[in-house]
Structure 1
């Protein structure tokens, strides 16, 4: 009985908690169903990529490509594109004209179906078009949905038919331009008569500024590039671009450019090439067949999976030049695929196979050398085009071809045709083929050399960087007189800074015990901050690349505490230098400092006698204490140094750093094999020899001498 008020209380609390919790109620009445072209206006970027200049230009491509598809089919050899001074765009073609009769399923005219129904058009089957750029059936309807006004006129059957739309809705405008009064409704209307054989379509539209960003504008440069590209891809097609916008028109009228090329993609390839030619433009052409399972409409209007035989036309133009850059343009049914796809993948794979096969019988490649895709592409300019019915693109923007079978068929055609050229036996073809193979081999060797150079540079950066660690306290002198003290700990560093001679003594602090480099790999050693810092500061590299003459200091001195931990640190440092900087050890330039363990302060020193006496071992301490007591020399309680940091600067300088008073132990290698065996025993991976060594040494240890 208490459950109901509790639930009500919680629901009320949820309502008061904030607006983000109001979505708990989720029922069928909350679902929004977008009808017709509403989805396009709601999510325009899904169809045109974006609502900036790129999306605005994409709408224009959709209309132009419909006209180009007609020209591809052999209907009309001219297209006119006009940028109007009132913000509209007109595209005119000489194609067959959009059908004006009634579509039986909808009862609407063909024009209205094309411009108001998504996924409607003549490109879903093989009846009207064989190879087209448009195939999703959404291009014209999307442009219509995103236009403040769209007018279409069709010349067909001896008459001109016209229809207008406002944001995708059919109707009539009372005046010119997108702001004229609009009345919804109205079918396709016959507005005039034309010669019976004249056909074509004129589409004029004004992009809807409610959809597109305010700064979005049409790019005349992009339009010219697209028109030029299309004229290359469809030889003989004339595309006229007229810019009548304010500011673009000259005194004698609008700016007009006409693009027409008869040479096809061969001429296009030559136009794109940025360098001098190594070969003529090669045309690699062929066809192939494949079977594809696609859904097809049956007589009852149902979609049924059907195996369809497809034919693929491959036409590739390639040209090698003296340069190093690669230019590859790819197209499917004249639609650019800037991000490539299966046709480009097949083309590149075939290039490598053909060149590799042609190189095999020659002696151009040495043993161990190989060519990869980048070697073959160096200096290459190529235009790759394929034509097929209903290609599979990734998205409406058609930037990537996805039809799987295309890769295999393109590779087969290109490998066969290019292989024939590369194996030419006489004439100019033989000379050019040889030049291509030599260029590829040269590129391969340059790539390997560049990679080795990069690896060497990385090694140099890691081991020999001139960017010294910030913790290094450097000296002014260079050459044999300079000394580098590798100091254990920051506390000792502070005292050493005051004790050193800044003229010739440098200090590099390390934090505790460095990596055991006898066990670690070179990569692990370089990753260790302390080891990398030491190698950088020494400045002569490491391993086989070590250059003794490049060492920045005449002496390297390990300065650690005089206890067992200090001994371990010195051993680790000795291992690093023996493994990676051995020439320094062989040259006798590596030392260990010998700091004292104890200090005696005499209370009544005699004339000429030092007030302080330092001892360096426990045995020396015992002897000194006994001798002073026997001689009647009084002294304070001896001080035992637990570390270098306990000394003041004067003491450290006098005992450990001042060349006039200090004691250094030089590391030497009398027998390299014995030294290597010793380091492996003490610091290597095999534990058993080290254990035996420790146990044997334990019997010689005086237990009473252990400092507990």
Structure 2
């Protein structure tokens, strides 16, 4: 054993406790100290507010980029419990803001991110990486204020008076000592909140930019029709109908929702998600979608004698030309592959999604022969390669 090896013992291990660990190694918690990590803070604060909508205890969430470089996330929910208020329904806000791993949130289809973040972990991380954070809670007829600087409480939770309504508003400003940039991208945030809104039709999200008083802007994201509403907004459709459905399968312990339409384009635009997380690496739900798509279209083409017995099936590049689609699965036990969690691995999902797509698309093709003819003509014109 070398002298260098002998020198490394228990005394050489540095233990980082509490929020100090987050400030010393921020990349371990938010991925980077650049723009990606900056935006991650917003999503962490928004998660509990959005989950309140999905559980039926809130109606809307408003996210505001403030003039001083901060962010305010406000909801009209029941108000997060405050430790000194004597409530016991869930981890109190004091704990969630100050303690890492304040409890475990199980992965399931009803949670917005399916257990992607530890319950209580996100708010504590945001608190640690902000030069100031304030929580304004209206709950049970009372108003409470909690204030922090770089994760340290300025004072105990303070009851400031009565409240005629309920809800939680958290305002934070990223710490310049931590981040390479504190300039939020309105467009990047809007893109992600738009995704969350069409993947979860109950969500009602408003994103406002107050940083430039001369040119304030705001966008409301609400899609009562889910992914179908999103696909309906795509340009140059080849056919008027948006093909869409939602179906539950006990075999995969979850649901699949698909919306698709062919457009006058050469490109394929397929976006897939698992428990509202983008799966840019694909996975079993994407494979199932392609299986079902090929089975339905090729079977219909042979029924209509557009393909003879000797003709080969249409290949993926032909089927995908001009196709715009959203494939979303929500699972009680999602299994992601890789450290970046961008590929879904649940085995039963492939067969379930394939069956659902094949059945629903086949029924649509038979019920809409004029639109089906347009689609098949577009696919037939695409060169094999």
Give the TM-score normalised by the residue count of structure 2: 0.86
Q: Where does residue 249 of structure 1 map in the other structure?
A: 213
Q: Distance in 1 between matches of 2:191 and 2:201?
A: 16
Q: Distance in 1 between matches of 2:128 and 2:373?
A: 57
Q: CA deviation at 1:228?
A: 3.3
Q: Is the 8 A contact 1:227 1:239 kept in 2?
A: yes
Q: CA deviation at 1:347?
A: 1.7
1:531-542 equivalences in 2 (<5 Å): none
Q: Is the 8 A contact 2:107 2:114 kept in 1?
A: no
For residues 97-129 of structure 1, give each alpha carbon's deviation from its aligned partner in whole angstroms, at most 9, with x where no partner exists: 32335899x9x9611232233333573277xx8
Structure 1 residues 290 and 369: CA distance shift in structure 2, 3 A: closer
Structure 1 residues 290 and 194: CA distance shift in structure 2, 3 A: farther
**Which among 32, 37, 57 is matched to residue 75 of structure 1?**
57
1:119-518 equivalences in 2 (<5 Å): 119-121=101-103, 123-124=105-106, 130-133=110-113, 135=115, 136-137=117-118, 138-169=121-152, 171-172=153-154, 186-195=155-164, 198-213=165-180, 215-235=181-201, 237-245=203-211, 248-250=212-214, 254-271=216-233, 273-290=234-251, 310=253, 312-366=254-308, 367-389=310-332, 391-393=334-336, 399-424=342-367, 429-443=368-382, 446-447=383-384, 451=385
Q: CA deviation at 1:390?
A: 5.1
Q: Is the 8 A contact 1:150 1:164 kept in 2?
A: yes
Structure 1 residues 379 and 279: CA distance shift in structure 2, 3 A: farther
Q: Where does residue 706 of structure 1 map in the other structure?
A: none
Q: CA deviation at 1:398?
A: 5.1
Aligned with 1:423: secondary structure? helix
Give the TM-score normalised by the residue count of structure 1: 0.49
Structure 1 residues 115 and 319: CA distance shift in structure 2, 3 A: same
Q: Distance in 2 between matches of 1:329 and 1:441?
A: 24
For residues 244-290 of structure 1, give each alpha carbon's deviation from its aligned partner in whole angstroms, at most 9, with x where no partner exists: 22xx2217xx433333344432120122x242323510112211114
Q: Is the 8 A contact 2:134 2:148 kept in 1?
A: yes
Aligned with 2:255: secondary structure? strand
Structure 1 residues 132 and 389: CA distance shift in structure 2, 3 A: farther
Q: CA deviation at 1:58?
A: 1.6
Q: Distance in 1 between matches of 2:346 and 2:357?
A: 18
Aligned with 2:73: secondary structure? strand
Structure 1 residues 125 and 386: CA distance shift in structure 2, 3 A: closer
Q: Is the 8 A contact 1:160 1:191 kept in 2?
A: yes
Structure 1 residues 211 and 408: CA distance shift in structure 2, 3 A: farther
Q: Is the 8 A contact 2:280 2:342 kept in 1?
A: yes
Q: CA deviation at 1:368?
A: 4.4
> 5+ residue gaps in structure 2?
none
Aligned with 1:37: secondary structure? helix
Q: Where does residue 110 of structure 1 map in the other structure?
A: 92
Q: Distance in 2 between matches of 1:109 and 1:421?
A: 48
Structure 1 residues 349 and 199: CA distance shift in structure 2, 3 A: farther
For residues 646-668 of structure 1, give each alpha carbon's deviation from its aligned partner in whole angstroms, at most 9, with x where no partner exists: xxxxxxxxxxxxxxxxxxxxxxx
The alignment's C-alpha RMSD in Å is 3.1
Aligned with 2:250: secondary structure? strand
Q: Is the 8 A contact 1:313 1:386 kept in 2?
A: yes
Aligned with 1:408: secondary structure? helix
Structure 1 residues 140 and 102: CA distance shift in structure 2, 3 A: same
Between 1 and 2, higher relative CO (CA 8 Å, sep ≥ 6) is seen in 2
For residues 432-463 of structure 1, give each alpha carbon's deviation from its aligned partner in whole angstroms, at most 9, with x where no partner exists: 223323333332xx11xxx4xxxxxxxxxxxx
Count how many residue pairs are aligned between Structure 1 and Structure 2: 379
**Which among 14, 33, 39 is matched to residue 15 of structure 2?**
33
Pair member with larger Rg:
1
Structure 1 residues 333 and 208: CA distance shift in structure 2, 3 A: same
> 5+ residue gaps in structure 1?
1-6, 12-20, 173-185, 292-309, 452-708
Q: CA deviation at 1:51?
A: 1.4
Q: Distance in 1 between matches of 2:32 and 2:10?
A: 31
For residues 216-249 of structure 1, give each alpha carbon's deviation from its aligned partner in whole angstroms, at most 9, with x where no partner exists: 520012223333333333446432222222xx22
Q: Distance in 1 between matches of 2:5 and 2:114?
A: 41
Q: Distance in 2 between matches of 1:289 and 1:109?
A: 32
